[in-house]
Amino acid sequence: ALLCSLTGELSARAVRTIVAERAAVLVDEHGLEPGQAVALQMPDGPEVALWLLAVWRAGGVAVPLNERMPVVEREEVLADLGPALVVDASGEPRGWDGPDGIRWYEPGTAFVLWTSGTTGRPKPILHTHDAYLELIDRVLAPLRGGEPGPPSTLGKPNLIPVSLALNAGIYNLLFGLRAGAPLVLLGRFEPAGFAELVRRYGITSTVLPPAAMATLTDAPDVADLAPLRYVRSITAPLTPLQARRFTERFGVTVLNGYGQAEIGEVIGWTAADARAHPDKIGAIGRPHPGVDVRLAESGELLVRPPRMAAGYASGDDLADRIDADGFVRTGDLATIDDDGFVWIEGRIADVINRGGNKVVPEQVEEVLALDPAVREVAVVGVPDERLGEVPVAFVVGEGWTAEDLEALCRQHLVPYKVPVAFEAVASVPRTEVGKVRRADLRARWTSS
């Protein structure tokens, strides 16, 4: 089988037949032309994958949307991107009559995806077939022993437990196809279903967002995840405590990776590195072949990949993020050790300037997470008349006290990094990919 899920399987021949039929429907019945876009908004699973492949076979540009996107937001997105057709859960393509008509995209454009939106409104990014294929081959190269192109026989099944409306979802879909591996699609994440697919298809390595790892760690109905051995963390930062809890519960090694929607995955781990350097598991790994990295004087991580996204669908390009030597400014603070492993310290935009002293929120959050009463925590900088900014912690959990948390921080941190206040919240607001919406918490504080 090439396409698998909890509800059934499709052979490679069946997939080719369905994709060809749907591509014909798009072109012959609805008049789709090369360079026109098709928006896909439906529940995650095999249907999304089949429609993605059909759009590409027809020469179109795929625009996958979150099935839960509100109607108002969806209409704004469609107005910006100008698709010729929309396919929803009914599986019936329909024309879309936007205010500015149908938009034509450059030849070779494959799909439109969004930035994470942690610092503002998400930006739609244009990805081309050639650039994305080069990105995947760059990651596959060391796994193939340097041989170009896909293998002639099917590899191990590739479990995709994230939405195909996300960059991580499409990346892993195309990675599996390029590697010649059967695709196993979970759909909406659910712990028991994930564990069942791991067991049924003998999954030894997969990807998971930190939120999914936390859900599995706390799931009473998941006894084990055999034969899973490795999990790569994706979409959002993973704390060492989260990784340690997951490993202690399931005996699975957790590896970080690094990429951005505009440049793809550029840094990561191989199984060989994991075996040879177990003491460096907290790092995001080493640069993939063909990727150059260095640090700016400020400590910002700079990355130069061979290829990157074509630009933003708004018409903006990426030039304002690229220096004279072709390095992309990532916006992340990092260090690089003597063995070439890269360690992320936090986002530059999130660093709190407390009277000239710099406070990295992630460092404070890691300390606060040591308290077993703290289920989740986010630290943000809020305005202060005397110091400019001060750190405040927003805490999810029961049984903690501000006095206990302050004492814990003073045990592990210099005084200026200790939050001035600890506020209880029901949950930490996050983006679709699991990143903390610090601006929302800052606004909550200033309005209270």
Q: How many other β-carbons are positioned within 10 Å of the β-carbon of residue 412?
A: 14
Q: Which of 153-162, 410-419, 423-432 has the highest mean pLDDT?
A: 410-419
The band of 145, judged by pLDDT with boundaries at 50, 70 and 90, is low
Q: pLDDT per residue over 323-375, tens digit each? A: 889 999 999 999 999 999 999 988 999 999 999 999 999 999 999 999 999 99
Evaluate if residue 283 carries a pLDDT over 80: yes
> CA nearest 63: which of 31, 96, 99?
96
Q: Which amino acid is at 288?
A: H
Residue of 401 and 143 predicted with greater confidence? 401
Evaluate if residue 152 carries a pLDDT over 50: no
Q: pLDDT per residue over 5-53, tens digit each? A: 999 999 999 999 999 999 999 999 999 999 999 999 999 999 999 999 9
Which pLDDT belongs to residue 243? 87
Q: What is the DSSP letter of 396?
A: E
Residue corresponding to tokens 């530059």: 348
Which pLDDT belongs to residue 317? 67
| Mean confidence (pLDDT) of the chain | 91
Evaluate if residue 189 carries a pLDDT over 50: yes
Q: CA-CA distance, 438 to 172, in Å (whole number)?
A: 28
CA distances 329 to 122, 198, 346, Å, are: 18, 37, 14
What average pLDDT does range 71-80 have in this prediction? 89
Which pLDDT belongs to residue 151? 53
> CA nearest 342: which of 295, 309, 297, 383?
295
Q: Which amino acid is at 322?
A: I
Positive/negative CA dihedral, 185, 188, 190, 192: negative
Q: pLDDT per residue over 238-266, tens digit each? A: 877 788 889 999 999 999 889 888 888 89
Evaluate if residue 143 carries a pLDDT over 80: no
Domain 3-105 is found in CATH 3.40.50.980: yes
What DSSP letter does each residue of 293-324 carry, written as one string? EEE-TT-EEEEE-S----EETTS--SGGGB-T
Q: Which two tokens stand for residue 195?
A: 């564990």
Q: CA-CA distance, 437 to 117, in Å (whole number)?
A: 9
Q: Which amino acid is at 51?
A: W
The domain 351-447 is placed in CATH, from the list 3.30.300.30, 2.40.50.100, 3.40.50.300, 2.60.40.10, at 3.30.300.30
Q: CA-CA distance, 281 to 431, in Å (whole number)?
A: 26
> What is the percent of the chain with per-residue pLDDT over 70, rounded to a whole number?
95
Q: pLDDT per residue over 305-316, tens digit each? A: 988 877 777 766
* Residue 266, strand partner residues: none
Cβ-based burial of 40 (10 A; exposed 0-12, middle 13-18, buried ≥19): buried
Which pLDDT belongs to residue 144? 65
CA distances 28 to 20, 22, 25, 40, 84, Å, are: 12, 10, 5, 19, 14
Which pLDDT belongs to residue 25? 98
Evaluate if residue 117 carries a pLDDT over 70: no
Evaluate if residue 400 carries a pLDDT over 80: yes
